[in-house]
Amino acid sequence: MLEIDRAYVAIALLWAVVGMLLGLYMGIAADTKLLTVHVAMMTSGFVMLALYGMVYRLWPALKKSPLAPAQFWITVVGVAGLVVGSYFLVITGSIPLAAIASVAMIVGGALMSWLFIARGHEAA
């Protein structure tokens, strides 16, 4: 998965568009009930995934690690779970999906940290 950086940025941009559309809807409808979902889309979906994509682009040795695909999928699935979980939290008050997705995001962040510490010094 040597194009992991591009995959991260592409998915981040999709989350940005969806988040902006939700923000537009909330503005037009004058209803901020889904603000938590919007924030999850923009921060976890757009900002974090774009940041991870940039890290992989700036330190290409990280992409060669066997942990890189696991880090990618755990994080991408975690973001989707966090967005859906935040929706359920707002609508029904249900917390479990958001909590599980938060753990996935923490694991993804820890794996990214490990990859950077272990392989960030290697030359491209």
Tell me if 58 is assigned to some domain. Answer: yes
The answer to whether the beta carbons of residues 16 and 42 sit under 8 Å apart is yes
Tell me if 66 is assigned to some domain. Answer: yes
Whole-structure pTM value: 0.92
Statement: residue 19 has pLDDT above 70:
yes
Statement: residue 1 has pLDDT above 90:
no
pLDDT of residue 121: 83
Tell me if 124 is assigned to some domain. Answer: no
User: Concatenated DSSP letters for 27-59?
Assistant: HHHT--TTHHHHHIIIIIIIIIHHHHHHHHHH-
Tell me if 110 is assigned to some domain. Answer: yes
Tell me if 108 is assigned to some domain. Answer: yes
Tell me if 39 is assigned to some domain. Answer: yes
Q: Provide the residue range defining the domain that includes 29.
A: 4-119
Query: What is the number of structural domains in the chain?
Result: 1
